[in-house]
Structure 1
Amino acid sequence: MNLLFRQINSEDIDWILSHTKLSDPIHVSGLEGGWDNANILLKFSNGSKFVLKAWFANEIPEVERVVERHLHLQEHGIPTVVPVLLDNHGLLAKKDGFAWTLMPYIEGGFLGNDSESMESLGEVLARMHCIPKADCFPNEYRMGFSLFERVIFLCKEKGWSLNFLDILAKEASFLRDNLPSDLPNGVLHGDLFPDNIIGSEGSVNAILDLEEAWIGPLCFDIVMAFVGFCWEEGVPISSRWCSLIRGYQSVRSLSDEEFYAMPIMHRYATLAIACWRFWKHNLSIPNKELAGRYLEMVDRVGLEFDFSEGLE
């Protein structure tokens, strides 16, 4: 059986709870979000709620690094969630060759895209960009050039000839030659989409899913948030961008060089999401219904936007 598609069962729940002081849950349900790893919500009679996560898509050492990243954010006052301490296991347990974590449930839903939510996201991002770097964050973006090269190689092996591969190779070459290398850098999230940010009433409650986090140019993360939050039906929404930047600059001012770099950083971020979606739904776990999902981002790669609007 492919464990990537395995579901969490009652035996798994009993096993993880045996390493805590929690009683049997009164209600168990699935959670939205995530493509590979399994998440279920456990509700208890005292009103507490926890999320059991089985990391079926990640090697245990990588999960350990991801947990370290969440701890690093929490230690520096960035809203996130860290696993509870399990008896004799630490912050994660190992079963069937996979890592398992139990985390407090954060109330709220996916962060909205209203003005208050965008300002809150910008403010929290700026605060995160000001924290110290740490060794648990890689210096290479996992959805960047290494993934571009891997996708091109795998498609050549399969003998696929697709227009997207030509676009990917051309754009990757352009980005390598033109991305600036002297911009302020720090801790980045790398995948700022609504399903990775929990919020309520116009405020960020928690930043989740740091698998793609890395050390890179700070303005990359800002345009990634633009990619994830500031579009509607293929059209960029200027008001959302302005709110995002207003919140960001209430904490950290952006330099002229960073604003100047945003168009090419946006191109990089958009291509990264397009490539990841192509890889996920056509190569890693083929899915006919989602196979064309990458095209939304391909259509955006060449679109221009005046990022200086955020200065108003």
Structure 2
Amino acid sequence: MTTDPAPLLHAARLATGHQQHPAGTLYVVATPIGNLADLTLRAIHVLGLVDAVACEDTRVAAQLLTHLGLHKPLRALHAHNEHEAAQGVLALLAQGQRVAYVSDAGTPAVSDPGAVLVAAARAAGHAVVPLPGPSSALAALSAAGDTLATAFCFIGFLPAKGGDRRTALAAVLADARAHVLFEAPHRIAELAAALAEAAPQRTVTLCRELTKQFESIVTRPAAELPGWLAAGAHHERGEFVLVLHALPPTVADDEALPPAALQALRVLMRELPLKQAVALAAELSGAPRKALYQRALAERDAGASEGESDA
């Protein structure tokens, strides 16, 4: 059964038609990550207003426009042709046309194509207007309930394999902030196993198929993730967003600094002034100087307290 899109388009015009939508402007439009009902009225209005739609995949964009009862010229602009295709969009903008850009799902230029086009449009003097909306990263953060997070780091997909992947994951786990990662279904078990081994007590919120009919959101210590994935036939299917919760301050001190860095710091502190010991330990280990300095202060103060109690 096909829904008549006319009332929806009318509601979108009523809600946003009073706003200015200048010609010769690139409109960066966030689209649903799985649930069509998440498309904003403003996005619907602008998609109906623009002269053309540049998109990551013309088939996906065509389905969305058809659902809205819209028909627009489509231009493919994806990771493999973004530089070249951007020039075609710039030509349309130079003619005074309004152009929307949509990725397959979510907010363009966030682990999706779009950044090259936006940069090129701005460099050519064209206005760029973002239309905020669905984002799997923000949706996952909002469902994580991470009360310790005062900031978060968006990672997206880790390198697919090899040393680069191990190095990237180690860097993430060494950082006390909350982190948002994406993962494909064929690698989720491997990632869960790596997290369980490297940081078994780190709290992780795993989101599967966000906003879709079979959405799953679970929060567990990393040690329990492999078991949860193995417990259901469908648990490893779909697209995944993971939130690695922020570390508590006391845990962050221990886990954010590699054991080798702590050992180097302690040896150097026995022989050198504190600041010099920190600087050398940072240079030798590659660990962050600020974290080493805070650790050095804590250990110096603890040593002083012990000395006073022994006196």
TM-score normalised by length of structure 2: 0.27
TM-score normalised by length of structure 1: 0.27
